[in-house]
Structure 1
Amino acid sequence: MNFEEKVIKTQPIYRGAILNLDLEDVLLPNGKTAKREIIHHHGAVAVMPIDQDGKMIFVRQWRAPMQKETLEIPAGKIDLGEKDPHKVALRELNEETGLYTDQLQHVTDFYSTPGFADEFLHLYYSDQLQKVTHKRSLDPDEFLNVSHLTFAEANDAKQAGLICDAKTIMALYYWEILRLKGAVRLD
């Protein structure tokens, strides 16, 4: 069976700084029509930084949609016109943690929530970190604290609901794989 839906009509609902929202009328494979609310996003990057003590670095920040603080790996959006997610990852690592690496390894790419958004996220890893000489400022509306957690502490934070976003949970699973392979230091 062909599952493709054909867009019949697109109605722009909202145009914003980080996303656009469209209401689409689509023709379904069975010939009927349906409506789709689609969020368009420029994409994002995330970095799994492991410090010299074998701890992963997280940022604690307020997340308005959930009305709570979270612990997440450093991440940020790809701005309109930016073409190289690797450079964006280095920028975000600098901005959020004050660190740099020349050993940034690509882990994977994925859609964060394909049921209603086209945000495409690039995940990177590094355990070769150094302090930057010139730290970038946080965005004017960005407030965060940096935390270094052991694998056990990070899993406890996940169990407590403090780590609750897909990219960071994926990072924890990748960290576990690296640990099982003996590719990273155990706590």
Structure 2
Amino acid sequence: MTESEPIERTAGRHEFRTLGSEDLYQGAVMALRADDIEMPGGVTGRREVVEHPGAVAIVAIDDEGRVVLIHQYRHPLGRRLWELPAGLLDLAGEPPVETARRELAEEVSLSASQWSVLADVAASPGFTDEVVRVFLATDLHEVETMAAEGNEEADLVVHRVPLDEAVRMVVAGEIVNASTATGLLAARAVLTGLAEARDVDAPWSDRPMRWAARKAGRD
């Protein structure tokens, strides 16, 4: 039987086992592998997977109810996007909340006294294991940081907008970054009492680990 032939539906009972895996590419912040998967009906399907180190993003809300956004160039889309401060989980052993603290300071020169978890966002689970943990940061304070050099961050524009305006930008299609959109909507739900944020060390079952293991094997 081939993957294109009709098969009987298994209604959630099938176990998708990985039968084999082939490394196709390793880059600076991602790797590409191809897995052979046992599909329903005895079919073997090949799925390409982009391995990612994972990331954090921060919804930083000041005392006036404004959220800190950055305008940053994103080459795959060929334009600047409105996003939350964010960064890769690229330091071995660093807890995600500490990565968030570091990125908030490095990108927008802020620290926060109060931290919690808003959401975990699978960026595009059809082809990548990238998941972003979005934090809520409040009670903000300015800090001194070194200016970024030689990359997109040297061109950042930092702007504060009322949270309701940022949510409007999501619905209007002016904010399209997945973790930013999710984080803003989640923050609105938490701050209006519709939901509760989680502790900073809340379980994260979908955190990407393959890239970290691959990198550790190279070092």
Contact 1:44 1:77 (8 Å CA) reproduced: yes
**Pair 1:68-2:73 in alignment:** no
Which residue pairs with 1:151 in the alignment? 163
| Identity %, equivalent residues | 31
> Residue in 2 aligned with 1:4?
15
Which residue is equivalent to 1:140? Answer: 150
Give the C-alpha shift of residue 90 in structure 1.
0.3
Amino acid at match of 1:140: G
Residue 161 of structure 1 aligns to which amino acid in structure 2?
G
**Deviation, structure 1 residue 154:** 1.5
2:181 to 169, 178, 184: 169
> Matched residues in 1 for 2:128 and 2:194: separation?
36
**Which secondary structure does the structure 2 equivalent of 1:181 belong to?**
coil
More deviation, 157-166/21-30: 157-166
Distance 2:58 2:32 in 1: 27
Partner of 1:88: 99
Q: Secondary structure at the match of 1:114?
A: coil
- Conserved? CA contact 1:69–1:162, under 8 Å: no
Q: Which residue of structure 2 lines up, in the alignment, with residue 30 of structure 1?
A: 41
Confirm or deny: 8 A CA contact 2:23 2:33 kept in the other structure: yes
Q: Identify unmatched segments of 5+ residues in structure 1.
A: none
> What is the DSSP-based 3-state SS (H/G/I as helix, E as strand, rest coil) of the residue aligned with 1:9?
strand
TM-score norm. by structure 1 comes to 0.88
The one-letter amino acid of 1:149's match is V
The structure with more radius of gyration: 2
**Equivalent residue for 1:125, pick from 118, 136, 154:** 136
Select between 75-84 and 95-104 the one with higher mean Cα deviation: 75-84
Equivalent residue letter for 1:148:
R
Normalised by the size of structure 2, how large is the TM-score? 0.76
Whole-angstrom distance in 2 between the partners of 1:170 and 1:177: 11
Q: Does 1:44 align with 2:52?
A: no
Gaps (5+ residues) in structure 2?
1-11, 196-219
Partner SS state of residue 124, structure 2: coil
1:38 deviates by 0.1
Q: How many residues align?
A: 182
**171, 180, 184: which one aligns with 2:192:** 180
Change (3 A) 1:138 1:4: farther
Task: Compute the displacement of 1:9 (Å).
Answer: 2.1
